[in-house]
Each structure stands twice: as structure tokens, then as C-alpha cells.
């Protein structure tokens, strides 16, 4: 497990270094801005922030998992980019992030969580876009069923539906 964690950290660091050395710039969103990342962000496209539309998030590598949650009566399939890939696309560097939702819910997530677990920014639930009414359009979610240690209030509380912003410190 420690080797896997180290490899993920090294990979994330290498991806950010390659992007920085290649003159990488974050494209401007062409559609409605759905996620704004602020704070310790290297690649900005909107003043002091990195803004993403749904197509930009869909262009990142996608992951899916099926999991049980306290919020849905049956297992659900969630799909979207890994949170660490979204942060890498913005050149985010820090030790903690604060996720804020459309309903003003805020939660703090240690960066080590996203190195250790395949936390995703879900865009799809059961292969369909999520409406605001159904906890969308974005939902930070942990792979609860794959890791019994995640099935506790601490990690449930770190999930954020109706995600709108991330602030990196």
C-alpha cells in the first residue's frame, strides 16, 4: 500500500512538472463554468482561478466505480475524472482543499486522501448526467465499497455533492 501511495504521489508530481516545463496553459472554458479552483493554482485561465466547463472535465481520463452510499437506497455507478487529475490539470499544489457546494456546504479534504484513494469528481450517476436535484452536476465521492475503512462519517462528510468550487491551501 505504501509503495502504491508513493507511486501515485510521484506520478502526480511528474505530471505537474511535465505540464509546467512544456508551457502548459489551461484552455478557456467554451461552455458554462461548472467548477472553479482557487488558491495555490499554477495554471489559471480566469484571472486568479482555474475554471472548468463540463467538456473540459469530460476530456480528462475518466474512472467509474460502483458503490453503496448513505444517500442512495441502492448501489450506484459513479463516473468522472479522478480528483487528483482535476487538480493536476490546474497545477494545484497544497496539502488541503476545501470543497464548496451550490447549497453552501463546505468540507475539507486532505490531499493525502486523493493520493491514497481513487476519489472522483463524478459527472455521471449510472451513466447519466446528474441534475442539481439529484446531487449534481458534480459530486466528489470516495470509493466507499472498495475500502471498508472509508465507510465512516469522517469520509462520508468529505464527499460533496453539487460541487461548485475547490480552494487549495
Looking at the structure of the chain, the number of domains it has is 1
pLDDT (0 to 100) of residue 24 = 52
CATH number of 119's domain: 3.90.420.10
pLDDT tens for 31-46 read 999 999 999 999 999 8
Phi, psi of 99 (to 5 degrees): -100, 135
pLDDT tens for 77-100 read 999 999 999 999 999 999 999 999
Q: Return all residues near 68 (Cβ < 8 A) that are at least 6 apart.
A: 74, 75, 144, 145
The CA distance from 169 to 167, in Å, is 7
The residue range of the domain holding 112 is 2-168
Amino acid at each position: 500500500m505504501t509503495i502504491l501511495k508513493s507511486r501515485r504521489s510521484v506520478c502526480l508530481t511528474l505530471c505537474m512538472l511535465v505540464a509546467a516545463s512544456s508551457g502548459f496553459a489551461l484552455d478557456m472554458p467554451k461552455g458554462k463554468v461548472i467548477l472553479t479552483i482557487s488558491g495555490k493554482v499554477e495554471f489559471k485561465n480566469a484571472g486568479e482561478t482555474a475554471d472548468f466547463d463540463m467538456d473540459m472535465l469530460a476530456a480528462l481520463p475518466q474512472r467509474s466505480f460502483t458503490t453503496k452510499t448513505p444517500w442512495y437506497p441502492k448501489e450506484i455507478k459513479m463516473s468522472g475524472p479522478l480528483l487528483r487529475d482535476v487538480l493536476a490539470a490546474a497545477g494545484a499544489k497544497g496539502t488541503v482543499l476545501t470543497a464548496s457546494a451550490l447549497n453552501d456546504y463546505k468540507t475539507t479534504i486532505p490531499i493525502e486522501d486523493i493520493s491514497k484513494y481513487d476519489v472522483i469528481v463524478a459527472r455521471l450517476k449510472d451513466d447519466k448526467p446528474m441534475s442539481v436535484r439529484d446531487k449534481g452536476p458534480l459530486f466528489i465521492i470516495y470509493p466507499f465499497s472498495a475500502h471498508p475503512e472509508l465507510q465512516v462519517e469522517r469520509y462520508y462528510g468529505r464527499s460533496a455533492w453539487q460541487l461548485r468550487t475547490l480552494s487549495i491551501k
